[in-house]
A and B are shown apart, each in its own frame.
Chain A
Amino acid sequence: MKRIAPWICLVLALAGCSLRHASRAGSTTLQVALSLAPDKLDPTFAGTACGRTIFTAMCQKLYDLNSKDVVVPQLAAGLPRITDHGLTYTIEVRRGARFSDGTPLNAAAVKTSIDHYRNTTGSSRAAELLLVKSVTVTAPYEVQIRLKSPYPALATILADRSGMVLSPKRLAKLGVNFGQDPSCVAPFKVHSRPSANEIDLEKDPDYYDANDVKLQKIVYKVISDPNVALANLRSGATDVAEISPVVASTIHKHSVRVLSTVGLGDVHLTINTGNVHGSDAPKGTVRTPLGADPRVRRALALAIDRNQLVHIAFGGLYAANCSPIPRTSPYSTPAIRKCPPADPAKARALLKQAGAKTPYPVELKITTLALDQRVGQVLQPMLAKAGFKLTLRSEDQTTVVADQDAGNFQASISDWSGRLDPDTNFQQLVGPTNSGGFADKQVTRLMSDARQTTDVTARGRIYAKVMSRIDELVPSIVLAQIAETAVARTGVSGVHIFNDGLIRVDGASITG
């Protein structure tokens, strides 16, 4: 008996501990795992996707996107009134809202924030608001934004960080250090940042819809490894985790819920056609068959079977797409959605016509991320059938970006997180600072024409023409529309992920 007594004590002690970790039902603290450390909690300088996810709970915007990709008012009282041929946006501001520091929200606060974003040195928002000429308070709850030239993307820009309204009192006190103690209108406010990789938010009792907020606290912590994040979810130490689609496609059997939606961004191949001295420098011509002859690039595009790529490399979660316009977008007309099927025979014929000796060698720069590796490996046999010899060159992500900027690549895989308005997505693909060094007067003119109107049908027609020109010259090849994924414990409800990829937990509650 004496021998087993210590073991009985040990078992009882362990059982005591286990009671403490058994259930989280009724808890009002939500634990969220992010894959990367967020940056500054100031929309002026913030640049990470993780940061955007945290802002959804602690810093509301004039507008937001809903689950159907429609811009809806958040701190604005209604959609903007667009007059003066698209040059003036009049926005009515929500009444009765207060910042977490008690300052009332009004038109003056909106003007202060937008002017701050436009004029602060190093602001990451300045480029998005470049076409704003002036911001005027026309009434205590009405603000007027005048533009230098029509800019239909403005409403979607104001549905992101540029539309976040900062407390003018806190801004006056902290200036560029606003991120150290931010104050916005939102269901939650910053409680503390106990370490570089944890941010604790607490419920703001002054929030205008505070009665609908069930949680008292949200803890965001960084768990970079997906296996560790999953283990934490299963143990109940974490309620929600940001996770890549590759991992998400493998975890259906576990007792967690996968939240998945097709996003606004895309994965594309960038081909270096004119970046010989860096993406900011004047464009040149890359004197290789791939860089100089559109027929070789068209052959490359024809060799790719997007459906197979999506099925194998992206676990069926991404959607095959040929344009930077999301298939769910109202601008995605049938002409834009039409993807030419893979045709290796035609691709071979094009290569022959261009006089390229087969197998034609192409070096593809990819990052060391598992997803890029998969894409590269799936593309290799596809391109081989069409007469290409694809070699993969894996590099650290930053090196790939640096090489893209410097023009030190033949072709590379790029990801773009995507925006609702097509203008921003096309700018990324073929705009003035595209890393492939592509420049075409016709594309530039068409892009400018698309900005002159807010009519969806008219813009859709113009973007179809842009796509037709891109299909002809093939400076980039869009492979797929990305998916946005997150994982939640089954005992957590009210967690949403929309197409913008942001995990929204402000309406969440813990039931088990």
Chain B
Amino acid sequence: MGRLLLRRAGESLVTLFLASIVVFVGVRAIPGDLANTLAGEQQDPATIAAIRHQYGLDQNVLLQYFHYLRQMLGGNFGTSATTGISIGQNILSALPITLELALLSIVIATIFGIGTGIVAAVRRGRPSGWLANVLALLGMSIPHFWFGVVLILVFAIAFPILPSSGFVPLGTSIGGNLESMIMPAIVLATGLAAVLMRQTRSSMVEALESGYVRTAQAKGLSWANIVFVHALRNSLITVTTIAGLQLGGLISGAVIVEQVFVLPGIGKLTVDSVFARDYPTVQAVALIIALGYIAVNFLVDLIYMVIDPRIRLRGAIA
């Protein structure tokens, strides 16, 4: 198990190194020049040269990469090219918001997705089962942007019960925080809820037709006991795995949702930095997101090992 863990950690580090190259090259492949952008409208050559020197853009690319790598390894992301504020500070203030949004979305998606999945499986062929299927299809099809604007129009303008934008920190007011997060979390949860619903439904259908459920029925167990204790419990293994893997997708979904609800999270930081051509910030944020994906995958691998002993054994033999 220890060797397998080390191997997975090594693989993650190599992936992170490759991701750093992709991010570095990708940002430089974006058309345009940071110095030209920062020089403003008048494009004074002396100002452009000074900016280029300040950001080391006059050095060769390899030197620039090593400088960037050294900074990242030291946890120094530098300062934003446009605002002059520490990028690390910006990320630290934005990251908790995105994580809270992702967490709330998972909770909502899990409750709604698994709930409708059970309904669709248990009442398949009936109107409530069809309704659950339709909801899943809608959840997968509705664009986040459109759904977000519709929710604002309904719950912030037509019936003004929730704020249309902004963020209230959890420390300031728990109620205010939930008010500001509920609509974005629902929007972000739609896709994941639909995936979970479909997965729960198919696993549940399979479980409900299995021998151990027939045995439970023959034993005279209650319907609720059969569904929730026997069938659902066995179906949840696959569902949990899917939920874990979708966490990465939630971070990218947050890019749009945070724009719509003006939440100052990582997604909004990324988009605003791209629009402002703040390449050092884009570079740092892209690497942080890549790190997030790698960490989640590593965690999922760990959970697999805990859940499924076969993986542990295979790793030990290898």
Contact = CB atoms under 8 A, between A and B. Distances in A.
A231 interface: yes
Contacts of B152: 228, 231-232, 235
Contact of B42 (A21, A46, A128, A232): A128
Contacts of B159: 14, 18
Contacts of B277: 398
Nearest to B81: A39
B84 A228 contact: no
Given A37-B272, A194-B93, A228-B259, A127 B82 contact: no
Given A39-B83, A237-B156, A433-B43, A47 B38 contact: yes
B264 A42 contact: no
Interface stretch (A116-124, A266-274, A306-314): A116-124
A47 B40 contact: yes
Nearest to A42: B84
A232 B277 CA distance: 26
A417 interface: yes
Contact of A235 (B32, B46, B157): B157
B51 interface: yes
B5 interface: no
Given A14-B159, A416-B41, A180 B84 contact: yes
Interface stretch (A195-203, A291-299, A357-365, A496-504): A195-203
B39 A124 contact: yes
Nearest to A193: B85
B45 interface: yes
A126 B47 contact: yes
A425 B80 CA distance: 31
Given A223-B165, A237-B163, A237-B165, A231 B41 contact: no
A18 B179 CA distance: 11
Contacts of B44: 124, 126-127
B54 interface: yes
Interface in B66-96: 80, 82-85, 90, 93-94
Most A CB contacts (10 A, CB to CB) among B30, B32, B161, B262 go to B262
A224 B165 CA distance: 13
Contact of B47 (A122, A193, A234, A235): A122
Interface of A: 14-15, 17-18, 21-22, 36-42, 45-48, 121-124, 126-128, 177, 179-180, 193-198, 221-225, 227-228, 231-232, 234-238, 279-280, 395-396, 398-399, 401-402, 405, 416-417, 428, 433
Interface of B: 30-33, 36-47, 50-51, 54, 80, 82-85, 90, 93-94, 149, 152-153, 156-157, 159-166, 179, 259-260, 262, 264, 268-269, 271-273, 275-278, 281
14 contacts: A18-B159, A21-B162, A41-B83, A47-B40, A122-B47, A221-B166, A221-B262, A224-B275, A225-B259, A228-B149, A228-B165, A231-B152, A235-B163, A398-B31
Enumerate the 10 nearest inter-chain pairs by beta-carbon distance, A residue then B residue, closest first. A398-B32, A47-B40, A195-B264, A399-B31, A127-B44, A122-B50, A235-B156, A235-B164, A39-B82, A37-B272
